[in-house]
A = this chain, B = another copy of it.
Amino acid sequence: MEFRLIERIRARTMQGREDVRLGIGDDAAVLAVPVGQELVAAIDSMVEGVHFPVGTASADIGWKSLAVNLSDLAAMGAMPAWALLALTLPQAEPAFIEGFTEGFAELAQSYRLALVGGDTTRGALTVSVAVHGFVPPGQALTRSAAQPGDVIFVTGTLGDAAAGLHCLQANVQSSAHGDYLIGRLNRPTPRVQAGMALRDMAHACIDVSDGLLADLGHICVASGVGAEIDASLLPYSSAMLGLFDDVSARDFALGGGDDYELCFTVPAARAADTQANLARLGCGGTRIGRIVEGQGVRVRDAQGHWLDAVRRGWEHFSV
């Protein structure tokens, strides 16, 4: 079934990109990276029951399998171009395939992304996507460039996906707020435009896939610095605040994963500019703390007390 299924999905993604010299239908794709650009590449897998609950709509699986990869490109400041898709399915069920195709293609189209290769195999539901994008030489954002004195920002709002998963798992009564949070879990928005805009503003950048503490911890380790967060500055959606108290919201934001917002650091002198630029992009950017000498991530409450990560159950997220 390899070509038929992959070809069906391809037909719904971007057609006629000039940099695709030979697309699906041969042993491999032939591609042309634009002159003067570096290639940025990542691969991520999603497994049913691990990365999305059993019963997730296939359109959401298609969307999310691409979104989590585009989020990796966003964290590098790269412009998306091409994807390869390896899809393992228990059986070739038409409704599943139609839904998957729709979700994958909808997101691909908004970035002019072309599906240039793929493979379908039979087995437990697993989706691996490799994405490729471009960045001007030397301008890729990394985890390792944070400096003491930098201001720490995040895009969007935090904790929504973890709160959405809680709504699903605890069978919280259906509501507009709950639907919003579940939508944030199932259809995350990769912050591609923000990542590209940050190329000449940010020092370090990462996407929040494992939770803010864990991912900011990665920046700290890679950069050889520490970080201080003011919990009172964490940005929440109105759905979050409508359904959960402050303490729950804070726990979702700090420890929960799957948000796919960007966490990045900028020199203090650029902080106001950065905020204005991100506001123009629509996703917004919120200052949540600062980079300091030392190591590790510490969180301070509104009264200025340091929170105890161990007691709060975040210790397995600390680095």
Q: A26-B76, A27-B143, A73-B28 in contact; A84/B47 too (CB < 8 A)?
A: no
A54 within 8 A of B: no
Neighbouring B residues of A132 by C-beta, 8 Å: 41
Using an 8 Å CB-CB cutoff, how does the interface string of A121-136 with B read, 1 for contact, 0 for none? 1111010101111010
A130 touches B26 (CB 8 A): no
State how many angstroms separate the Cβ of A25 from the closest Cβ of chain B.
Answer: 7
Give the distance in Å from the alpha carbon of A303 to the alpha carbon of B15 in the complex: 50
Give the distance in Å from the alpha carbon of A21 to the alpha carbon of B134 in the complex: 13
Copies in the complex: 2
A201 within 8 A of B: no
Closest to A215 in B: B27
A227 within 8 A of B: no
A14 within 8 A of B: no
A130 touches B43 (CB 8 A): yes
Q: A25-B222, A28-B72, A72-B28 in contact; A130/B39 too (CB < 8 A)?
A: no
Using an 8 Å CB-CB cutoff, how does the interface string of A69-94 with B read, 1 for contact, 0 for none? 00111011010001011101000000
Neighbouring B residues of A131 by C-beta, 8 Å: 28
A32 within 8 A of B: yes
We find that the number of chain A residues with CB closer than 8 angstroms to chain B is 60
Neighbouring B residues of A75 by C-beta, 8 Å: 26-28
Q: A22-B140, A126-B88 in contact; A121/B45 too (CB < 8 A)?
A: yes
A29 touches B41 (CB 8 A): yes
B123 touches A86 (CB 8 A): no
B126 touches A123 (CB 8 A): yes
Q: For window 101-156 of chain A, which residues contact chain B by CB distance below 8 Å?
A: 116-119, 121-124, 126, 128, 130-133, 135, 137, 140, 142-144
A117 touches B41 (CB 8 A): yes
B47 touches A88 (CB 8 A): yes
Closest to A73 in B: B28
B43 touches A32 (CB 8 A): no
Neighbouring B residues of A27 by C-beta, 8 Å: 42, 71-73, 75-76, 143, 206-207
For the complex of A and B, the 6 pairs showing the least CB-CB separation, nearest first, are A28-B42, A47-B123, A124-B124, A27-B75, A43-B84, A128-B128
Query: Could you list which residues of chain A lie within 8 angstroms of chain B, going by C-beta atoms?
Result: 21-22, 25-33, 35, 38-51, 71-73, 75-76, 78, 82, 84-86, 88, 116-119, 121-124, 126, 128, 130-133, 135, 137, 140, 142-144, 206-207, 222
